[in-house]
Amino acid sequence: MHQTARPLTLVDALVTRGSVDAASGKLAATLFVAALTAASAQLSFPVPFSVVPFTLQPMVVLLGGLALGPRLGCASQVLYLLAGVAGLPVFAASAALPPGALRLLGPTGGYLLSYPLAALVVGSLAARGYDRRYLTSVGAMFVGLLLIYASGVAWLGMVSTPVLGTAAGIQAALNAGVYPFFVADLVKLVAAAGTLPAVWHLLGRSHPPRR
């Protein structure tokens, strides 16, 4: 009887080809993405008229989700957030934002809390082969980016609404959390989306597994 092939994520393919134990390899990859997310937060730049800094984190989160798949991608971002809650200096340096666990309750908390979900969704798409073609990789990452923006803006809107009112609060959230970043994030996404298909091509697995 023909058995349906299970779609592989990139980390599955790499540990299968490597000499390390599969569980150890996946754990190392998960920790690496969590550490890379923390490192990308340190490359942050303040944006005029916004409390939200410009960082490379969204692209790391989305690429990590593509490479690790849903469970490990989500786990990598949960580990990242737990490190921040524990007081480790993994969040973007900012004099305007609270440190440690309070960062999750501050203006940028919505973005941070969306990372596990974004990685989960993007990883689920990757497990269905969306990471193996450039255009589908762009589409998967774009869905994840929209989730990050939606969560971030909703949180910013709640912070602003009590002071400015509902309509003004939403507009303030868009002004501070979307408009200054969207074009740059889209350019980064278009550039980064080719990474996974290129690696799959090098592995000789550019086509999704046949059923």
Residue with token string 């779609």: 7
Global confidence as pTM = 0.88
Domains of the chain: 10-202 (1.10.1760.20)
Q: What is the pLDDT of residue 96?
A: 78
pLDDT of residue 1: 43
On whether the CB atoms of residues 35 and 51 are closer than 8 A, the answer is no
Query: Average pLDDT, whole number, for the chain?
Result: 88
d(CA 148, CA 132): 23
Give the SS3 label for residue 131. coil
The tokens of 61 are what?
């989160």
User: What pLDDT does 98 receive?
Assistant: 85
